[in-house]
Amino acid sequence: MWGSSRAGQRQYVRGGPISVELRVNDQIRAREVRLVGPEGEQVGIVPVAEALRLAQDTDLDLVEVAPTARPPVCKLMDYGKFKYESAQKAREARRNQSLTVIKEMKLRPKIDPHDYETKKGHVVRFLKAGDKVKITIMFRGREQSRPELGFRLLKRLADEVTELGFVESSPRQDGRNMIMVMAPHRALKTAGQRGSGEESDAPADV
């Protein structure tokens, strides 16, 4: 905001240096600007001196929001408030940003039905918590010549938990293993993050 006219000089926003991305008040070098009012209304193309006078008269700042436009676009605003609200939004975005958690579940292609249900239960729990799950089929010996066993098992598992997640990475051979990655649907991921209260990017094995 403008300072007092005691010294006949304009002062810029309190609280530190102005961001280099935006020119404010006397930093604006253009002779004329396309002026936007504080509520977003179009004022029109005016000399920069007139725009600065309007800013001072309304106790607002003149901020060059589109410097590459011809003429540059400037807006009348409370730049201190703008900076504060932008910082608040950035902090909120960082808080809401999730670090990807990938759990891992390992199965054998000829898994026992009871073990399969147990492993599937873990996958269900992970997806409900908003975590991704890397499902690994481990082949041994002659099983390596029967990759279709792994494909069928992974497809069965994906089909049975489709209400909770989707296949993010299709089954692929990785050495003697076969890997598929499932991710939770967006709503479940959001709910899981709210419930956990903490975020981690460390893989987990069960």
Q: What is the CATH number of the domain that holds 145?
A: 3.30.110.10
Q: Answer yes or no: do 57 and 139 share one domain.
A: no
Reported as a single tens digit per residue, the pLDDT across 67-123 is 999 999 999 999 999 989 988 988 887 776 656 679 999 999 999 999 999 999 999
> In this structure, what CATH number is given to the domain that contains residue 36?
3.10.20.80
What are the angstrom distances between the C-alpha of 170 and each of 151, 162, 179, 199?
10, 14, 8, 26
Reported as a single tens digit per residue, the pLDDT across 123-159 is 999 999 999 999 999 999 999 899 999 999 999 999 9
Residue that finishes a domain, picked among 34, 53, 83: 83
pLDDT of residue 44: 93
pTM, two decimal places: 0.47
Reported as a single tens digit per residue, the pLDDT across 179-197 is 999 999 976 665 555 555 4
- d(Cα 123, Cα 165) in Å, to the nearest integer? 10
Q: Answer yes or no: do 139 and 197 share one domain.
A: yes
pLDDT of residue 91: 85
Reported as a single tens digit per residue, the pLDDT across 26-78 is 999 999 999 999 998 999 999 999 999 999 999 999 999 999 999 999 999 99
Q: Answer yes or no: do 112 and 161 share one domain.
A: yes
Q: Answer yes or no: do 135 and 65 share one domain.
A: no
3-state secondary structure 75-86: EEECHHHHHHHH
Domain that holds residue 154: 102-205
pLDDT of residue 94: 76
Q: Answer yes or no: do 120 and 73 share one domain.
A: no
- d(Cα 20, Cα 83) in Å, to the nearest integer? 13
Number of domains making up the chain: 2
**Residue 10 has what DSSP assignment?**
-
Q: Answer yes or no: do 22 and 108 share one domain.
A: no
